[in-house]
Chain A
Amino acid sequence: MKTILVAEFREGKLRAEYSQLIAFAQQQQAEAVMFLVGNPSELPKFNGPLYLADAGRFGEYNPAVHKQLLLDVIAKEQPAQIVFLHSSYGWDLAPRIAVALKAAQVSEVVAVDNGLPVVPACNAKLRRIIKPTTPQSVLTIQAGAFGLDDEPSGTPNVIAVETETVGTVQCTGYEAAKIEGVDLTKAEVIVSAGRGVGKPENVAMVQALAKALGGEYGASRPVVDAGWVDHNRQVGTTGSTVTPKLYVACGISGAIQHLAGMKKSDFIVAINTDKDAPIGEVANVLVVADLKQFLPVLTEKLNAR
């Protein structure tokens, strides 16, 4: 099955996640070609044709232009699948391609079951198997769902592409994530507050437990968005990726973007009123309890030791 893999380039760098696209193609035994708006000085390690447009000329984020570049390659290659990462680049470009091709689009593929893409729903509480009914399909794959055993290798056969299309929006620069203050990536114990803490005053319970365990406190995104905890303490895809010896998730459901930031911790404890919360999938211990009752008791017992 002919497959186009769409690699990514940002802030002057090739994004290493392209290896996940290769892993997906290998698993499907697909005949893969790659597409990239990037830079000839930094090529993906890949054995096969690479359609390469120059990011210096066509921009790193320039949807209308990238769409046209990719559609031209699709017209030439006639692939059965066009595969993106489910990322800020992928979920932005993929629907544009799907509309142009009148092709089925399946988002956030986590596995392939008998040739059909599997996707999560309802915060990973459900999964669905989708059957595209169009000759071509557009897929975005979930970050981390497909991986290579070894580092990617090979040298692509570069085919330069270009277009006269002009953009409709303009990316004028980047703003780095603020990382001053605490560095959670160095903490050995992290106790994180999720939306389940209910109100800002209750963050203190999480801080107290972190202190009793000699660690740092962190948070899931809604707690940061609400301004209860600083962004430099956010764990997840748009925060820090942490690997402490102990991670305690208090009132955190376990959305994929949070899990991506903490699932490699050595030991994971979750405290949640919902026995079915997806955090249970990665937790070594799930304590089914109201954190408002449980945390003070646990902290007191730890402090009394």
Chain B
Amino acid sequence: MNILICIKQVPDMESKFKINGEGTWYDRADLAWRMNEYDEYAVEQAVRLKEQVKDADLTVLCIGPDQVTETMKKALAMGCDRGVHIADADSAKREPVEIAAMIAGFAKEKNFDMIFTGMQSQDRGSAQVGVMVAELLGIPAVTTIVDFVYDNGAIQVKRELEGGSKAVVTATTPVLLTCQLGLNTPRYPTLPNIMKAKKKELLTMAPDTGGTGSRQEIASCSFPEKKGGGLVLEGDVAELADKLIQLLKEKTTVLA
């Protein structure tokens, strides 16, 4: 079975963000980078599928500047067989359909049986790229999966719905699945596997959207206005605790 997993490198969301010079996105300097959380579930599911069916080949693909290869190494250490890095220093300026077009351009004619993506990226959070890849390739897609079972060519997934109920959906290959948090428990790469990953193939390709151009512009990027007039308490923990207890007495009835 031939499987593709798409991952994105994103900044740690606890970072202190600054706006870039053009005022369109965050400044990339001084950020800590990691694998998009949702994509960790995608990688894990693919690796588990390989462990189940044995005969499978896992390609992990990432579009971005050279530094993304660090994140790709994690996916290789988790168990992907090869990496494809589409080297695009300007990937942050691309909109979802351009990213999707690059992925579809790569996947076309490679006959992937299954493609796993995250349901959304943590920084952009558009939840578009996965479904768009499937549409451009003309294959079915099921989004937001929290459960996955493969049995002899038949696929059964559960889609998570609002309120926590789930829809049971069946599909056959080829199919693209977008992975939601909690789908599985992503493994931590072991040291021997980190060493092995260093020897795995990591192909670099030039970005090519196959003529898909821009459909939107970023008018501006800013910090939201602080609306919440909430009180911010800082200082010594004992004093903080006293202050908070005082506030709870004044503003709520729970300590009565």
Chain A interface residues (CB < 8 Å from chain B): 10-11, 60-61, 63-64, 86-88, 91-92, 94-96, 98-100, 102-108, 116, 120-134, 137, 143, 168-177, 188-189, 213-215, 221-222, 224-227, 231, 234, 237-239, 245-246, 253, 266-269, 274-277, 280-289, 293-294, 297-298, 301-302, 305
Asked if residues A130 and B140 are in contact (CB atoms below 8 Å), the reply is no
> Can you list 9 residue pairs at the A/B interface with Cβ under 8 Å?
A91-B131, A104-B95, A107-B125, A120-B224, A127-B224, A177-B164, A226-B185, A282-B230, A305-B245
Enumerate chain A residues within 8 angstroms of B17, measured Cβ to Cβ: 122, 125-126
- The interface size of chain B toward A, counting residues with CB under 8 Å, comes to 82
Q: Are B167 and A61 in contact (CB under 8 A)?
A: yes
- Other A-B pairs, 12, CB within 8 Å; known A238-B162, A289-B234: A88-B143, A116-B219, A128-B25, A131-B216, A137-B216, A169-B169, A174-B167, A284-B230, A285-B247, A287-B244, A294-B237, A298-B244
| Shortest distance from the beta carbon of A9 to any chain B beta carbon, whole Å | 12
> Given A174-B168, A301-B245, are A130 and B218 also a contact pair (CB < 8 Å)?
yes
> Chain B, 104-132, contact with A by CB distance < 8 Å: what is the 0/1 string?
00000000000000011011111110011
Asked whether A171 and B168 contact (CB < 8 A) given A122-B13, A126-B221, the answer is: yes
Given the known interface contacts A108-B125, A130-B217, A298-B244, the answer about A172 and B132 at a Cβ–Cβ threshold of 8 Å is: no
| Minimal beta-carbon separation of B134 from chain A (angstroms) | 8
Q: Does B165 contact A (CB under 8 A)?
A: yes
Q: Give chain B's interface residues, CB within 8 Å of chain A.
A: 11, 13-14, 16-17, 19, 24-26, 95-97, 100, 119-120, 122-128, 131-132, 135-136, 140-144, 158-171, 175, 181-182, 185, 214-224, 226-228, 230-234, 237-238, 240-242, 244-245, 247-248, 251-255
Nearest residue, chain B, Cβ from A8: B162
| Residue numbers in B under 8 Å from A91 (CB-CB) | 119-120, 127-128, 131, 143-144
Q: Which residues of B contact A221 (CB under 8 A)?
A: 181-182
Pairwise interchain contact A169-B144, C-beta atoms closer than 8 A: no
Q: Using CB atoms, name the residue of chain A closest to B231.
A: A285
Report yes or no: A95 in contact with B233, Cβ–Cβ below 8 A.
no
User: Complex Cα distance A133/B98, Å?
Assistant: 14
Contacts of A277 in B (CB 8 A): 14
Hey, which chain B residues are within 8 Å of A239, CB to CB?
Answer: 164
Let me know if B233 and A285 touch, CB within 8 A: yes
Residues of A within 8 A of B166 (CB): 174-175, 177
How far does the alpha carbon of A116 sit from the alpha carbon of B217 in the complex, in Å? 11
Q: Known: A98-B132, A103-B215, A221-B182. Is A274-B241 also a contact (CB below 8 A)? A: no
Instruction: Specify which chain A residues have a CB less than 8 angstroms from the CB of B185 in the assembled complex.
Output: 226-227
Specify which of B158, B218, B226, B237 lies most central, judged by the most chain A CB atoms within 10 Å of its CB.
B237
| Residue ID in chain A nearest B245 by CB atoms | A301
A126 in complex: contacting residue of B223, B238, B240, CB < 8 Å: B223
The residue of chain A having its C-beta at the shortest distance from the C-beta of B233 within the complex is: A287
Residues of A within 8 A of B254 (CB): 188-189, 213-215, 245-246
Q: Which 7 A-B pairs have the closest CB atoms?
A: A177-B164, A225-B182, A168-B140, A104-B215, A95-B131, A99-B135, A129-B219
Distance in Å: Cβ of B221 to nearest Cβ of chain A:
5
Given contacts A107-B125, A128-B218, A286-B232, is CB(A274)–CB(B140) below 8 Å?
no
Q: Which residues of B contact A92 (CB under 8 A)?
A: 131, 141, 143-144
Are A169 and B175 neighbours in the complex by a CB distance under 8 Å?
Answer: yes
Query: Do the beta carbons of A169 and B142 come within 8 Å of each other?
Result: yes
Given A127-B222, A225-B182, A133-B215 contact (CB < 8 Å):
yes
Q: Looking across the interface, which residue of chain B has its beta carbon closest to that of A256?
A: B125
CB nearest neighbor in B for A214: B254
The 8 Å CB contact of A123, one of B13, B221, B244, B251, is B13
User: B141: which A residues are within 8 A, CB to CB?
Assistant: 63, 92
Set of chain B residues within 8 Å of A128, measured between Cβ atoms: 24-25, 218-222
List chain B residues, Cβ under 8 A from A133: 214-217
Q: How far does the Cβ of A113 sit from chain B's closest Cβ, in whole Å?
A: 8
A239 CA / B254 CA spacing, docked (Å): 24
B186: min CB distance to chain A, Å: 10
